[in-house]
Structure 1
Amino acid sequence: MVTPVVISANQEKKHSYSDLYLKDELMRSQLFTLIKENTKVMQGCDNFTDSLRVAYLYEKTLDEQEARDIMQALLFAAKKHKDQTRKDKDKTPYIIHPIGVADYILGSERCTDKDTIIAAFLHDTLEDTETIKEEIKEMFGRNVMSMVLEVTDDKSLSKKEVRKRQIETAPLKTEGAAFIKFADKLYNCRDFIYRTPVGYSQEKVKEYLLHAKEMTDSLPSVAPGLKNLLDCEIEKFLSSCGP
């Protein structure tokens, strides 16, 4: 007679944690291939997954399925942006930006709304890749699709018109979209200051930062920590420019 194996609730939970970790490692391996083994991007990925594990394992603010869905969004975004790079001199794989935006939202601001974090990973997919909104809806749901649409600029407009519309629509943003805009502008401003795009003059950087401040001043006040960091970075840069 075979003795049945009795698994305690604690053992089941430990097994569940282990499964998630192994799945993360598998995704990590896939990411490593997609980003051409860029260590800077992998460090950003590791920083984000550390924040995710804290929320899931210790704070219990995300459940297992939510954590899996978020990791799936990271991989989806990495595939969509796989042939794109940032404008810095190192041509860093573009996915470092969505990873950083998502980590600002989860790791810095402690927002644990699953759909907001997923939309943060996908926020540039409609604007900069061949992704269509129906694809996002099918994989991640209507709410994520709506948030991504809300933060997507109309590429048929001139840069001046885009910036004007960003400021006009900022007060109308939903909470999730506002989180993404704060994190996106903070990441971009830090990139412009510390990893200045090739060919950008100090004046062009200043122009972007002033626009970022004006736009985020008009957003709903959902992310005071990110807004404070953004304002400090801008003030420090402008002070260094002199009169």
Structure 2
Amino acid sequence: METKPTEISSSKMFEGYNKRYKHFSPTLGCSMTFHVYFPPSPSPSHKFPVLYWLSGLTCSDENFIIKSGAQRAASAEGVALIAPDTSPRGLNVEGEADSWDFGVGAGFYLNAMQEKWKNWRMYDYVVKELPKFLSENFPQLDTSKASISGHSMGGHGALTIYLKNVDKYKSVSAFAPIVNPMNCPWGQKAFTNYLGNEKAAWEEYDATHLISKFHNVSATILIDQSIDVLFFLPPIQECFQFY
């Protein structure tokens, strides 16, 4: 088991480096991959604030890193990009790959409550395990200075994670997010299978419901509903304005 990160690939971009790693996740019970973009460092002791990027349905940790061009802004602003995968993989749970919007590639950034899907605990992985793992293994990252962002299903994850952990993140930015999954087919399918039929459990992962519990958070939330945001640098650059 990879208790330490194993580097899979490395490529130079905008004077920094894209690096892909794998490690064993005790939270998910399987090996996971994630990307880190390290900006150019002004000194050996410099520590970078981080921006977590959560991708959408069918995606992995590679989509945003390959397609977005966000490394240009991250390099200029001195922010490290962290892109985890979207679900556990390789567990061979019956039905995990039967549809594109549930199971593999579709973790919905929640902690499943149904026994069959007990390994689907992406909420705990993103909020607890991954930041701790990064802090312990990459001294150049300052995970105490973090923001979170995402697209579609990842926008849903970013919003709900932020609203339940406002002390952990400087800001949240969501692009074309699923903001009310309780009332759309994707969310209803995922919530029923992962969480069961109890609507109280669903409300804990619905940004529209969660926002009603909080006040004075609008200044640190950016939502852009453009469908082409992954290829449009200016909205991506807005993610870095809160550091």
Q: Which has the larger radius of gyration?
A: 1
- TM-score, reference length from structure 2: 0.35
Question: Going by fraction, where is helix more abundant, 1 or 2?
Answer: 1
